Structure 1
Amino acid sequence: MTPLSSPETSDPEPWDPPRPWWRGWLGITALVAVLALAGGGLHLVLRPASTRCADGVARIGADRSCVGLTDGSYSFTPDLAQVSALIRDENRSVLDAAAKPGGAPWVGVVYLLPMAAGRGGSSTADSIRHEIEGAYTAQWMANHSHSYGDSPQIRLLLAHRGGTDDQQDYTLGQIESHRAADHIVAVAGLGTSTESTRAAILRLTHEDIATFGSVITADDLADIPGLVRVAPPNSDEAAAAAKYLTQDHPNAKVLLVQDRKADDLYSRTLADQFRKSYPAGQLIAQPMEYDSSKSDVSTYFTQQMANVCLSAPDVVYFAGRGVDLPRFLAPLSQRQCIDKELTVISGDDASQVEQSAGVGEVKSALRLGNIKLLYTGLAHPDAWQLRPQSYSPTAIAPFVSGGEFPRAFPHESLADGQAIMAHDSVLTAVAAIRAAATGGSDQVTGQDVVQMLTLLYGAKAVSGASGLISLDSHGNPMDKAIPIVELSPDGQVRTVAVSSRTGNPPDGRP
């Protein structure tokens, strides 16, 4: 028998695998789509983020803050939302009225300052808001009352210059680029007395844009053509303080405490002018000098308390910013010689203390340390009652009961003077603008307004809510009324006297 055997086999036929899908037209199409999607995603990742915040406003600088120029349509901080909306609505009303047959012409006035607290600035959020509210009040009065003329109408623009050079540069560039379209002829406000403020003023005045400082007081900012200010210079503040001390604290021995921060014109000139105004024989020879831009300021003051007791002053003149007062007063309240009452008097920036984070520490120091705190204010409503002849009833009307300010901002305070000073800076701009318009020109220019600045004295002086603004040849108000203000341990702020450079401020009307 034949054994069972396997079937006969042969070599298999070769196998041809199917062609991969990705090698055909379908694969090419898919590859192109994938690459397109990947490229789009990469572009989204790599492209720079948009810097636009609103028309005229952009994110600038390392902190990407929104700075620039707005008509009120954009609010730089939530804190400014209400007043920005009021300004926006008033600006729209001006444009609507101008568009009608026979409508009044209009010009643009910019209110410029750092509009956000912090970043090394000395202003608080409250003081910034009060300034803008005061500026709006002046705009409303200019457009809706007959006390300051009728034409041109005023559109108020808001400019946030930020806290860095590149932010300020962008904002000033926006003012320049919008100058023609928005008929910009003047800039008010400007900020505080710093080198950055000086740079902004010089750039604006170089472009023949008139500038009106609200609270800048440093004497180093005098004699800039095209700049005037409604606040008395530091020389006047120091002289007013000296006059008050010689009357209320005769023969007082005074210790000068001075901030040596390099770019702070306010502190430097305040100290220099007080030295010139107060009898040299009553000044303690060695001043106390600190630098607020450096660390350990509180420690420095604490270490100096032994010398304070050794020199035994009756009065301390604090030539520094209000934000530094808590760091000085807290150690002062714990000095060994606490049994002797000590009066501390400072300049107008001390008005910021009442709204600062350190106000509790200040009140505690005043209560426990046998200390009395005074400062030379720029404006305070108590002064209107204390010396009524130095204030025009028409000028203060927007701020008293029934006026535009309490109507629009019923819960706001006037105690820091910021709203009053901002109002007066815009009001002074309006006076110059409308003086220029009397020449019959169809459109007032910045040059026209600059030309009128040296007109505002004597019979043409401006009756401000802060007192008579009669400008000298240096752009400063002459012998301006200066309230002497006390901050009490319970936080109340009141005017105790009204002084001036000569000690006798002028009447409130020209």
Structure 2
Amino acid sequence: MAPTVNTQLAAISRHLQDRPGLKTAALVSAPFTPNNTPDLYTQSLEKAFYDHATGLRPYLDRGDVYFNFDVRNGADRTSLNTISKNLCGRVTPDLVFYAGRATYLPTFLENLHQRQCRTTPITVVTGSDAATLDRKIPALNDPDAPISVLYVPLADPAQLSSKNNPDRALYKAFADEFGRPHHGHKFDPSHLASGWAVMAHDAFLTASLAIGKAVDPPQTPPHINAVGAQLYLFDTTNVIEGAGGIFRIDTRTGNRISTHDPRVVQLGTTGD
């Protein structure tokens, strides 16, 4: 129910078109988990950064700087410290494409904040889990060491409730219902602070709509194959009116196709 990594980065690529001064990027990635198994999320990010379709590959080609860091046994702290210092070397990139988990991002930002060339502005581009980042950390609030972060959230309540959201009424109806008692119970209002409640709702809504469409009396409940087939038929006029907006399902991939382009969130200080 969430925008794919490629969709997120393509939106950021379009956003960067309004900042022509940013030309070069370094890639910083952590392709494995602390258990040394492949991290599918970070690997998908790295692949999308390289994908010409997202529009970000030229920044990497011009920057020609690539670093992996290890997250096992605390190695992330020392690795990210060295990487940050290296970004003041022969090439000082305008951008860093960060293909790592958000849990290690504050450490990286703090190291960027302390690097020798910290007065040179730098922008970090990353994936949706940056939504967990504390906006008040010192590294993002020092005009003398400008650092900004760009990402696309999966379902940001501030964006969904904004008057600029064409599907705002759908989110408002969901949020109002979320706060009401149901069978003597109420959801914790704080659960609306992240996008997880919205995505869970829209996933359940999509599944229930598919089940309803798959019913063929007198055969009830419908067969799992009939339900699966319906999931790939949410297209053209057959749309899902979710709390996160109106969307369709790609009939080839099963990915979400949003009616409107996702919006980019920018944190920190740009130094512009």
Q: Give TM-score scaled by structure 1 length.
A: 0.45
Matches within 5 A, 1:309-388: 309-310=88-89, 311-354=91-134, 363-368=137-142, 369-384=145-160, 385=162, 387-388=164-165
Tell me, yes or no, if the aligned pair for 2:2 and 2:154 is still in contact at 8 Å.
yes
Q: Quick check: 1:485 aligned with 2:260?
A: no
Q: Superposition RMSD on alpha carbons, in Å?
A: 2.5
What amino acid sits opposite 1:351 in the alignment? A
- 2:179 equivalent in structure 1: 406
Counterpart of 1:252 in 2: which secondary structure? coil
**Structure with greater contact order relative to length (CA < 8 Å, sep ≥ 6):** 2
Q: Partners in 1 of 2:27 and 2:239 — Cα distance?
A: 35
Q: Give the corresponding residue for 1:456.
A: 234
1:102 is matched with which residue? none
C-alpha separation in 1, matches of 2:228 and 2:163: 35
* Maintained 8 Å contact 1:234/1:273: yes
Task: Using the TM superposition, give the Cα deviation of residue 337 of structure 1 relative to its aligned residue in structure 2, in angstroms.
Answer: 1.1
CA distance in 2, matches of 1:317, 1:479: 24
Shift in alpha-carbon separation, 1:462–1:395, aligned structure 2, 3 A: farther
Q: Secondary structure at the match of 2:8?
A: helix
Q: Secondary structure at the match of 2:123?
A: strand
Asked if 1:443 corresponds to 2:221, the answer is: yes
Distance 1:386 1:304 in 2: 41
CA distance in 1, matches of 2:16, 2:193: 22
* CA deviation vs aligned residue, 1:425-465 (integer Å, no higher than 9, x gap): 11111111111136553323323311211211121121222
- Residues 318-357 of structure 1 show CA distances to partners (whole Å, capped at 9, x for unaligned) of 1111111122112111011111222222101112334xxx
What secondary structure sits across from 2:266 in the alignment?
A: strand
Q: 2:18 aligns to what SS in structure 1?
A: helix
Check conservation: 1:246, 1:252, Cα contact below 8 A. no
Secondary structure of residue in 2 paired with 1:463: strand
What residue in structure 2 maps to residue 298 of structure 1? 77
Judged with a 3 Å threshold, the aligned counterparts in structure 2 of structure 1 residues 331 and 316 are, in CA distance, closer, same or farther, namely same
Map Cα deviations across residues 20-52 of structure 1 (whole Å, 9 max, x no partner).
xxxxxxxxxxxxxxxxxxxxxxxxxxxxxxxxx
For 1:267, the aligned partner's letter is T
Instruction: Indicate which of 28, 46, 57 corresponds to 1:271.
Output: 46
Instruction: Write the mapping of 1:12-411 to structure 2, written as runs, cut at 5 A.
Output: 230-248=1-19, 251-261=22-32, 262-276=37-51, 277-283=54-60, 284-293=63-72, 295-310=74-89, 311-354=91-134, 363-368=137-142, 369-384=145-160, 385=162, 387-389=164-166, 391=167, 393-399=169-175, 403-407=176-180, 408-409=186-187, 411=189
Residues 70 and 79 of structure 2 are in contact (CA less than 8 Å); yes or no, is this contact kept in structure 1? no
Contact 1:378 1:483 in 2 (8 A): no
**Is the Cα–Cα contact under 8 Å of residues 157 and 194 in structure 2 kept in the other structure?**
no
Q: Distance in 2 between matches of 1:263 and 1:393?
A: 40
- 2:212 equivalent among 434, 437, 459: 434
Take 2:80 and 2:196, find their aligned partners in 1: how far apart are those partners? 29
Residue 192 (structure 1) aligns with:
none
Cα distance in 1 between the residues matched to 2:64 and 2:244 = 35
Q: Is 274-283 or 258-267 further displaced after alignment?
A: 274-283
Distance 1:372 1:235 in 2: 21
1:159-192 deviation digits (Å, cap 9, x = unpaired): xxxxxxxxxxxxxxxxxxxxxxxxxxxxxxxxxx
How far apart in 1 are the matches of 2:39 and 2:172? Answer: 32
Give the distance between the partners of 2:21 and 2:214, measured in 1 at CA: 48
State how many pairs are aligned.
250
Identity fraction in percent: 30
User: Is this contact kept in 1: 2:26–2:66, CA < 8 A?
Assistant: yes
Secondary structure of the structure 1 residue equivalent to 2:124: strand
Residue ranges of structure 2 left out of the alignment (5+ in a row): 181-185
Aligned-partner Cα distance in 1 for 2:21–2:204: 39
> Residues 61-86 of structure 1, C-alpha deviation per residue, up to 9 Å, x if partnerless?
xxxxxxxxxxxxxxxxxxxxxxxxxx
Partner of residue 419 from structure 1, selected from 181, 194, 197: 197
**Preserved CA contact (<8 Å) 2:12 2:150:** no
- Report if aligned partners of 1:380, 1:414 keep a CA contact under 8 Å in 2: no
Mapped contact 1:245–1:252 kept (Cα < 8 A): no
1:471 correspondence with 2:246? no
TM-score, normalised to structure 2's length? 0.81
- Provide Cα deviations, 1:449-484, integer angstroms capped at 9, x if missing partner: 112112111211212222332111110112564232
Separation of aligned partners in 2, 1:250 and 1:330? 24
| Structure 1: unaligned runs, 5 residues or longer | 1-229, 490-510
- Aligned partner of residue 318 in structure 1, secondary structure: strand
